[in-house]
Structure formats: structure tokens, C-alpha cells
Amino acid sequence: MIGGEKVQRRGLLIILSSPSGAGKSTLARRLRDWDPSIRFSVSATTRAARPGETDGADYRFVSEPDFKQMVSAGQMLEHAHVFGNFYGSPRAPVEEAINGGCDVLFDIDWQGAQQIQTSALKGHVLSIFLLPPSITELQRRLESRGQDTDETIRRRMQKSWDEISHWDAYDYVLINDDLDATEARLKTIVTAERLRASQQPGVIDHVRALQSEFEGQK
């Protein structure tokens, strides 16, 4: 177990899933404010941009043929079809980030989470599910956006329940009844995961130094 080349830490793939309106985007931003080295995986999508959304920041907006071309070329880590639109996580920026030792945060649904959790990168995945305090609160937050029709909200609530029902396929689960407390727990989870033996290849160098010291004293 001791020997071999010096190894660079590989970043974690941090998956944050929740029904829409459970505080996921706010918490993702807070996590990056806390540690700016964390990269966001910007999803590609075929849906139209909403008012205020920026291409390349919120989403990478692509045509359906381009999206399908990316999938068939193996350029997507995961992809899903939701409400008639495609969503996917482009592979290249993720691999570049984790190979450089940076963690990558994914704001994706359970279908995407499942694909990443069964991919070749599964050994580097940390998945967290956020539950809302109540359905009433979830609905209130969806309605307060003021962008959607009743039918859209009803459909989103159904999708939310579908999402919630997959909570137990995640490593960690947090009930987001207090944003600050949930933020603290998220940081605790990320901090702990970085202390895993598998996440600290630099420890090998420390053990080698101990070995040299030990052998020098015999």
C-alpha cells in the first residue's frame, strides 16, 4: 500500500437534488461562497431561456439536434427528458475540474443522480437530497415565482413528489426547515467527505516520511 507516484487529489462530484422550491439554488450558491474552489456543473438544455437566465451561467442553451449529438458522442455524464425538454451535464468541464482537484456541484434530478452514481466516476460521488419542511411550503414557493400557470404548478408539484420519492437513493438527506442550519450541515458533510482516506492521497507522502524516519531509527 505504500509506494508509487505522488498522487493529486481528485475532486468530488457533489450532487444536490431536491424538488423545485426546496432551497437548492440558494444553498448551492452559499456553498460556493464558502469555498470558491467549488465549480458548478452548468447543465445543457434544449428548453428556451427564461427571463433573466444567462447562457453559459444558468444553463448552456442548445438545440435538440446538438443535444442529441452530444449524447451520442458520449459527451454527457448524464441526461434526462423532463416536460418535453432535454437536460444533461457535459462531461468535459467536470473531468477537467476534478482532475485538477476541484469539487464540482451538480444541481440535477434523481434520474441524473442515478446515472452519475452508476457511472465510472461513482467512487467520487457525494450525493445529498434536500427535503422540504412541507408540501404547502413547497407550493407556496413555486407560486411566489409568479411565472407559471396553475397547470404548470400542478405538473411541477407532481414532478416534485416524484423527486421526493427517490430521497433514499442518496448518501445524505437533509430536511431544509432552516436555511442556515441546512447550510451548516451541508458544509459539515463536504468537510467530512474531504477527510476520507480516498480523498487525501497526500497522506501517502506523510506515511512515506514516517516510514523513512522509522527505518532510520532502527
Footprint of its own copies (CB under 8 A): 1-2, 129, 131-132, 134-136, 139, 157, 161, 164-168, 170-175, 185, 188-189, 191-193, 195-197, 200, 203, 206-207, 209-211, 213-214, 217
Please, what is the minimum distance in Å from the beta carbon of residue 206 to its own copies?
6
- In whole angstroms, the minimum distance from the beta carbon of 88 to its own copies comes to 25
Give, in degrees to the nearest 5, the angle at Cα 12 between 7 and 15.
170
**Complex with its own copies: residue 86 or 129, whichever CB lies closer:** 129
Nearer residue to its own copies within complex by CB, 47 or 166: 166
In angstroms, give the least distance from the CB of 211 to its own copies: 7
Long-range contact pairs involving 168-172 (C-beta distance under 8 Å, separation at least 24): 169/110, 169/113, 169/114, 169/117, 169/127, 170/15, 170/17, 170/113, 170/127, 170/128, 170/129, 171/125, 171/126, 171/127, 171/128, 172/126, 172/127, 172/128, 172/129
Q: How far is the CB of 10 from its own copies (least distance, A)?
A: 15
Nearer to its own copies, 69 or 134 (CB): 134
